[in-house]
Structure 1
Amino acid sequence: MSDTARTVVIHEVGGPEVLRLEDRPLGEPGPGEVRIRHHACGLNFIDIYQRTGLYPMELPHALGMEAAGVIEAVGEGVTHLQPGDRAAYAAAPSGAYAEARLMPGAQVCPLPEGIEFETAAAAMLKGMTVEYLFHRTTSLHRGDTVLFHAAAGGVGLIACQWAKSEGIRLIGTAGTDEKCDLALAHGAAHCINYQTEDFTARVRDLTKGEGVDAVMDAVGADTFEGSLDSLKPLGMMISFGNASGPVPPVNIGILGQKGSLKITRPTLFTHISRHETCQAMARRLFGKITGSEVKIRIDQRFPLEDVADAHRALEARQTTGSTVLTP
């Protein structure tokens, strides 16, 4: 067994060209740690935020937040996993773009036999994000309506299916008619092409002027104002990403003027920080997948050495569904 693993590392922030593939030492897991050999790794916007410096890290640093594979060794105190177990995770610290790695075991989750490694690698970060959006951020009930931006992306296609399985009406937005069709095929009740329509006006039309109960917005700067204007009084604005850039400073008084609105900026990593919560979130996600309520669509695959091309495609919004890297 090799004592090194090919790993994607950045030594400086910048464009995709700063991504380097290096051999890094592995070693044995310490207390609370596991060593996992990856069969597939996931790609997410947070990886781009880290690479560009939007989310600062101490450099040099490995990238990648989610993967799936087989446990090779466990350290003292790890009881929920054993060598040979199939497992998957979306967790800090970053470093999932690798053949294998050591990492804290608390957020590594046993993977049911019925879920393939690529599916799990594409599903963990996005799927557990959808889990907390629908179950842990604001009170949503059957019959409620949500607005979900980027509904044809990796998180969006999971959210469309999740909403339908929970009896929640999801209005999506996307940038092309083809992407809107994809969101509709995955369970969105409506999808608005924001290039050809004013999504705020269309949301008001679709809700008979009332607005939606919640907005789930990972786009950021470009959609923020329109998202607030799409909410009903007492509605919840959930800003959980910055694909178009960070949201500028907000005068909190505007929330009162627009209907006593609520706003939050959650992260997955706060939600999964407790071992028991993380495992419960993963089990709910796995149940949706094995029960065929949620199907994970993987539209792009890249070998690990082509990670820069994968980043370029994601940044250019040329992807649909999920993207995986194969070590």
Structure 2
Amino acid sequence: MTLPVASERVHVRAPGKLNVFFEVGDVHEDGYHDVASAYQAVSLYEDVWAEPSDDFTLSVSGSVDVSGVPADDRNLALRAARMVAQRIGYDGGVHLDIVKNVPVAGGMGGGSADAAAALVACDALWGGQLGSAELQRLAARLGADVPFALMGGTAIGTGRGDQLSPALAQGRFEWVMVTSDTGLSTPEVYGHLDAMRAQPDIAPPRAVPGVDPEVLQALRAGNAAALAARTRNDLQPAALSLRPDLGDVLEAGERAGALVGFVSGSGPTIAFLASDPAAALDLQVTLSAAGHVALHVHGPVAGARVLAR
């Protein structure tokens, strides 16, 4: 059926994310892994505009290289739009205009943020009124990071990362992100981790991943130094093995005063935690002067939401 369109054009903004803690369990027969993650949404955003169309189409632009972003049904945002239409029985189409600021294939969930934004935008455009629980259910079908892009804030993810529980985080954490011109394939990084773990000198992962309780305590207290002492990313050794140059970036940031640096998700984006906004600005300036693309962001921030016209 054709539903009444709530607006001629809907604008939704969704955040990129960091995994401030990421433990990866054993690989299953289907190739997937159980994980335990502490997610934080940060102020690096994807913007999606949705408007009525006879078909399902999209255009992509942004401040990052978007040449590798598909414009067909391989794109999670377009799949999200079709999913909403099917769920509410809408027989029209939509055009999605995506403006990307999160690095593509950078380990910050940019594609997942696009999908979350598309779910919210299409629901609003078509007057679906699906509600947050149903949108979360649809999001989980699109990928592990999509539900968190909807939720935002700080959360603990288990299972494949899509079983979310909100986590209390006091105050504001200051991050400097160093991006890379060349992305890393998430499946390739996981596959390389499995290959590395098959070597006898790599300790096997725990059977059931879990988030370190001290990470939760540091987030709850808003204590950047305590969080820095407990950050962890099990994918980092594999990402550094595939991209040894990232190790030089980590060393440069920590020499320049970062409390800690780590690979974001599957990489290659590097996240540095700073003690306060002034320290973050100094770190950004130092890394930029060394020739890196360095961005100062903060977290936690809200998840996908409709912006006023």
User: TM-score surpassing 0.5?
Assistant: no
Scaled by the length of structure 1, what TM-score is found?
A: 0.23
Scaled by the length of structure 2, what TM-score is found?
A: 0.24
